[in-house]
């Protein structure tokens, strides 16, 4: 944890000793009473935390926050519903790189059973967002949805977005050479592990998406997502 994140309601009460953040403070950072650490309010400012006292049950903390609140990079990542382990990697690493939203959507070639994973049913997905933000020394976590179809999401997408989809089969140009305006929100879409189906491509093109590729090599979905985000953020001057 490079940054310990807290929800606003947590800052006014003791931190239980069993909480991973408490264990990290005591066992990894080796902080004692009076020790300070880097902290952040979820989707709010960063600042400094201080351990006021330690008991067998809890740590009493105080906080001093900076005045600046960061803004998310206006990138919406759309991903065909993927295997749970792949989704975990994307949730964590896309949050680390910085996006405003991640939407996992049902597509023509998605496996429907993935939607019943404990990752989604039990709220585990939130933990991976927090891990990604803490790694990046950021307080920002993206909006996440996982219960829509591709068509439903495309119908809701704001018109201002620049729209790019990755496709290994019908893309006419590489992502690296595609013009990406710096001042426009961006929607970046990737199919599930099996790729887009024919109906998906029709829907994407009908919604104004340009199909691009990452080169001749076929990448794993989680690798392609990070490579695409890196290229688009570099083109936007956001790295």
pLDDT in tens, 160-187: 789 999 999 999 889 988 888 887 899 9
The answer to whether the Cα torsion of 165, 169, 171, 175 is positive or negative is positive
Q: Which domains does the chain have, with CATH numbers?
A: 4-65 (2.40.240.20), 75-235 (3.40.1280.10)
Q: Is the pTM of this model over 0.85?
A: yes
Q: 68: number of CA atoms within 13 Å, CB side? A: 4
Give the pLDDT mean for 114-139.
95
Residue 238 is predicted with a pLDDT of: 67
Q: Which of 117, 203, 192 is nearest to 153 (CA)?
A: 203
């Amino acid at each position: 944890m490079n940054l310990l994140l807290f929800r606003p309601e947590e800052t006014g009460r003791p931190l239980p000793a069993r909480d991973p953040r408490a264990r990290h403070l005591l066992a990894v950072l080796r902080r004692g009473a009076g020790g300070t650490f880097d902290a952040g309010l979820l989707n709010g400012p960063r600042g400094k935390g201080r351990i006021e006292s330690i008991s067998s049950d809890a740590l009493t903390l105080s906080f001093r926050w900076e005045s600046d609140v960061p803004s998310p990079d206006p990138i919406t990542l759309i991903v065909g519903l993927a295997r749970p382990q792949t989704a975990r990697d994307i949730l964590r690493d896309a949050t680390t790189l910085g996006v405003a939203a991640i939407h996992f959507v049902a597509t023509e070639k998605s496996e429907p059973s993935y939607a019943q994973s404990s990752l989604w049913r039990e709220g585990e997905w939130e933990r991976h967002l927090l891990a990604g933000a803490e790694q990046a020394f950021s307080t920002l976590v993206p909006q996440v949805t996982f219960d829509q179809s591709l068509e439903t999401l495309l119908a809701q997408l704001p018109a201002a977005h620049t729209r790019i989809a990755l496709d290994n089969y019908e893309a006419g140009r590489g992502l690296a050479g595609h013009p990406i305006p710096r001042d426009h929100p961006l929607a970046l879409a990737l199919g599930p592990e099996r790729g887009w189906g024919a109906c998906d491509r029709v829907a994407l093109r009908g919604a104004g998406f340009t199909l691009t590729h990452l080169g001749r090599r076929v990448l794993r979905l989680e690798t392609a997502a990070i490579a695409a985000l890196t290229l688009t953020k570099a083109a936007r001057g956001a790295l």
